[in-house]
Amino acid sequence: MSESELWCDVKVLQPAFRRGNSYQSVYARLASADAFQQLKDSLTANPQLTVSAMRAPEYYGSQTETLQRIIRTIGGIIALLMGVGAVFGAVITMYTAVASRTREIATLRALGFGALPVVVSVLAEGALLSLVGGVIGGAIAWAAFDGYETATMNFQSFSQIAFAFAVTPALLGTALTYAILMGLAGGLLPAIRAARLPVVTALRQL
């Protein structure tokens, strides 16, 4: 039940809000979870009732749809902007790495290594660096926000709603996947540049 409630006789409260004989919500505790579908079918099949039967988690979820949409939209925009910045940072980092290893890359090419192994090596380095960064970021997010509780206004019912952040293993896995993908995207152009590096020109730097 809600933390802020006022209990009174329903026949006294209904005329005050001009509700007549109607009810906004009715809570029922069933004998088992399997009995819900039977109750729902019996309620919806009754022509005298206009009711929508749902489980408590579904009801509270429907009450926060607008809030969830706002949070997800703002979070998605922020994540997109930060992702673009991370990709540009990876591009600059990998270009610097390729420029500092021109002699090593030229030596490998002179020894017979093709363009594909060079591309793979640069991409692998970018993915590894992004994985390390993702692990550090995930650890910071878990330490700072896992279980963090806050509250905001429910724009549908104009009541305060409290919730807690949960940094789950599934979210961390998704974040690491995106981090690796951004590392690969940021290392692609430097990898192509390293593969196209003229061997003769690079060897002159030895």
Does residue 159 register a pLDDT over 80? no
Write down the pLDDT at residue 177.
94
Q: Is the pLDDT score of 75 beyond 70? A: yes
The answer to whether residues 116 and 83 belong to one domain is yes
pLDDT in tens, 91-143: 998 888 887 877 777 777 777 778 888 888 889 988 999 999 999 999 998 99
pLDDT at 7: 80
* 100 token code pair: 């500092």
Q: Is residue 2 part of a domain?
A: no
In a domain, 1, yes or no: no
Confidence of residue 153 (pLDDT cuts 50, 70, 90): low
| 71 and 34 in a common domain | no
Q: Determine if the pTM surpasses 0.85.
A: no
| 4 lies in some domain | no
DSSP 3: S
Q: Half-sphere exposure of residue 197, counting CA atoms within 13 Å on the CB side?
A: 31
Q: What is the rounded distance in angstroms from the CA atom of residue 94 to the CA atom of residue 88? A: 10
Q: Are residues 76 and 40 in the same domain?
A: no
Residues 16 and 35 in one domain: yes
Q: How confident is the model at residue 63 (pLDDT cuts 50, 70, 90)?
A: confident
Q: Does 51 share its domain with 77?
A: no
Report whether pLDDT(154) > 70. Answer: no
What percent of the chain has a predicted confidence (pLDDT) above 90?
Answer: 19
Output the CA–CA distances (angstroms, integers) from residue 105 to 71, 110, 148, 177, in the order listed.
Answer: 46, 9, 48, 28
What's the pLDDT score for residue 134? 92
| Residue 197 confidence (pLDDT) above 60 | yes
**Domain membership of residue 50 as a residue range:** 10-62
In this predicted model, which residue has the larger pLDDT, 108 or 199? 108
- pLDDT score at 203: 61
pLDDT band for position 57 (50/70/90)? confident
Rounded Cα–Cα distance for residues 203 and 182 (Å): 31
Q: Are residues 117 and 188 in the same domain?
A: yes
pLDDT reading at 156 higher than 60: no
Give the CA count within 13 Å in the CB-facing half-sphere of 22: 9
Do 191 and 181 share a domain, yes or no? yes
pLDDT value for 160: 67
How many structural domains does the chain have?
A: 2
Q: Which residues contact 161 (CB under 8 A, 6 or more apart)?
A: 63, 64, 67, 151, 152, 153, 154
Query: Given pLDDT bands bounded at 50, 70 and 90, which one contains residue 172?
Result: very high
Q: Which range has the top average pLDDT, 20-34, 78-92, 192-206?
A: 78-92
If asked whether residues 178 and 103 sit together in one domain, one would say yes
